[in-house]
Amino acid sequence: MRRLLPAVVLLTTLLSGCSDTPGESKLEQLVQQQFDSQYQGLIDVQALQKLNGWSDSDNQYTVEVSYNIEFKQSFKVYMEQQTAKPGNPLEKMASGMSAGLLKLQYGDFNAGDVYEVKQQKLTLRSSENGWRIAD
């Protein structure tokens, strides 16, 4: 029995390290990427905590998280930058509308303002490049 104990401990350690669910650092990276794709350079995700998670299938994982967001710029400065960009007026309008929704949710935010997202449910899908947030 004594000879078997080290093998059992090693096997348990190896199997627990093989968990295929994303940890907090990966989840924070995914949430940051999502904000960056919508609001380039505006929001910094901080202090993400995984509250709960469950597998819906082998390639889908649902997780509840909380985190803080910090605005790197004020709403006014961000909007000025968006309208000053060269390019398609429709793309500028869409970007402005998207930022306007942030203003509705968080008010007239300033650079350095921090807000807590108390609970958000994310659905993740497994891809060839790892976990991705499903749209």
pTM of the predicted model as reported, rounded to 2 decimal places: 0.77
Residue 10 lies in a domain: no
Residue 108 lies in a domain: yes
pLDDT at 2: 57
Residue 8 lies in a domain: no
Range of the domain at 118: 21-127
Parallel/antiparallel/unpaired status of strands 130-133 and 114-127: antiparallel
Within 10 angstroms of residue 38's Cβ, the number of other Cβ atoms is 14
pLDDT over 70, % of the chain: 86
Residue 15 lies in a domain: no
Number of residues that this document lists for the chain: 135
Average pLDDT over residues 20-24: 89
pLDDT at 80: 86
Please name which of 33, 69, 28, 29 lies closest in space to residue 49, comparing C-alpha atoms: 28
> Mind listing the pLDDT tens digit for each residue in 49-97?
999 999 988 899 999 999 999 999 999 998 888 888 787 778 777 777 8
Give the 3-state secondary structure of residue 129.
Answer: coil
Strand ranges of the sheet holding 60-71, from the earlier edge strand across to the other edge: 43-57, 60-71, 114-127, 130-133
Number of domains observed in the structure of the chain: 1
